[in-house]
Amino acid sequence: MELATKKIVLRYHWVFRIREGWGIFHQSLLGKIGLVLLLLFALMALCSYIPPRLDPMYDPMTGVDPKISHSTGPSMRHWLGTDFMGRDILSQLLAGARIAFMVGVSAAFMSIFLGTAIGMIAGYVGRIMDTLLMRLADMIMVMPTLLVVLILSSLFGQLNIWTIVLIIALFRWPGVSRVIRSQTLSLKQRPFIEAARVAGASHLRIIFRHIMPNVLPLSFLYMTFRVTSAIIIEAALAFLGFGDPGTVSWGMMLQWVWKTGHMFKAPYWLLPPGICISLITLSFYMLGRAMDEVLDPRLRREQEAG
């Protein structure tokens, strides 16, 4: 009985927090625009499974229209036209949405996982561990990720998409870990951590049960910003010709336009991928700023005062 009430209270607590957060989020115009745009992109990613099923010539990578062997403008058969070898641009664009989400979300998830873990360890353990980890973070933070991946791909040959995601994650954690570390440092001084320690909780239990729930919202805030940077890095890499040759990403499409010399001739091909990359980063960015307001009461008050 007692346990049951406790559970209800806990659930109410979470529901309440989410509803309160949604209320604030709802007032933010930027957040709403961002969310709507992201839902549209998600729809695009889902739709990417349709064209290849209609006809094999709509396959984004291998499907070539048998009647077309050069780039053509929009038509009924190909709504956005075709690329230099007769592949359908619309289905490439849809497939690109899928890749962008996949790259962005998985790289962001890995990097905030790493950043949160390292930040909590540095903040909680302190001393030499803290110094070492934070110096490492400083060092990685100043490295331009794109150029690091370039050097790695020159040494290790063509990288596949998951290796690229992994490298991006390995280089994008320091920002998160700094924030989580300072949050952990201030949490460590709070009485409830002291109480847990006196009650005999192990270090691991304190970290997972008491510190982690308090830093996770911050980590998730950083996740949206990491998504944008991962998408941009992958796109730039593909644009320069170092992407995974087996995937059709928006950066890859731009690389094809650029390298085949169609940029002055085929605006129907040059415009869509660039607009998509820019809009998806913009919408994740707007979402991040709106979530910032939800999680940071200081910003909220400023908004209310204005």
Partner 1 sequence: MELRRYIIRRLVQIAIIFFVILTVLFMLFRLAPGDPVSRMVDPDMTPEEAQILISELGLDQPLWMQYLYYLRNFFMGRFGNSFHYGQPVVTIIANRLPNTILLFTTSIILSAFVGVFLGKIASWHKGGKVDAWMTIGALATHTVFLPWLALIMIWVFAYKLGWFPITGMISEEVWLNPEAGIVAKSLDVLHHMALPLATLFLIHFGSYLLIMRSSMLETLKEDYILTARAKGLSEKVIRNHHAAPNAALPVVTSVGLSLAFSINGGALTETVFTWPGIGRELVFSVSHNDYPLAQASFLLIAIVVLVSNLVVDVLYAYLDPRIRY
Q: Give the binding site for partner 1 (CB under 8 A).
A: 30, 138-139, 141-147, 150-157, 228, 232-233, 235-236, 239-242, 254, 257-258, 263-264, 267, 270, 273-274, 277-278, 281-282, 285-286, 302, 306
Q: Give least dist CB 63 to partner 1, A.
A: 25
Q: Give least dist CB 2 to partner 1, A.
A: 47
Q: Give least dist CB 137 to partner 1, A.
A: 12
Contact criterion met (CB below 8 Å) for 229 and 172 = yes
CB atoms < 10 A from the CB of 188, how many?
Answer: 16
List C-alpha distances in Å: 77 to 69, 84, 89, 92, 174: 14, 16, 11, 15, 48
Which residue number, 129 or 282, has a Cβ lying nearer to partner 1? 282
* Chain-centre distance for alpha carbon 265: 33
Looking at residue 82, what DSSP letter applies? B
Which residue number, 64 or 146, has a Cβ lying nearer to partner 1? 146
How far apart (Å, rounded) are the C-alpha atoms in residues 248 and 250?
A: 7
The candidate with the shortest Cα–Cα distance to 37, out of 223, 268, 277, 267, is: 277
Contact criterion met (CB below 8 Å) for 181 and 134 = yes
Which residue number, 111 or 145, has a Cβ lying nearer to partner 1? 145
Which residue number, 106 or 228, has a Cβ lying nearer to partner 1? 228
Which residue number, 63 or 272, has a Cβ lying nearer to partner 1? 272
| Residues 6 or more apart in contact with residue 174 via CB below 8 angstroms | 115, 136, 137, 138, 140, 141
How big is the chain, counted in residues?
306
How far apart (Å, rounded) are the C-alpha atoms in residues 67 and 49?
A: 23
Which residue number, 183 or 229, has a Cβ lying nearer to partner 1? 229
Q: Give least dist CB 164 to partner 1, A.
A: 14
Q: Give least dist CB 172 to partner 1, A.
A: 10
How far apart (Å, rounded) are the C-alpha atoms in residues 149 and 195?
A: 46
Which residue number, 48 or 283, has a Cβ lying nearer to partner 1? 283
How far apart (Å, rounded) are the C-alpha atoms in residues 57 and 86?
A: 9
Tokens of residue 194, six digits: 């002291």
Q: Give least dist CB 39 to partner 1, A.
A: 18
Q: Give least dist CB 276 to partner 1, A.
A: 9
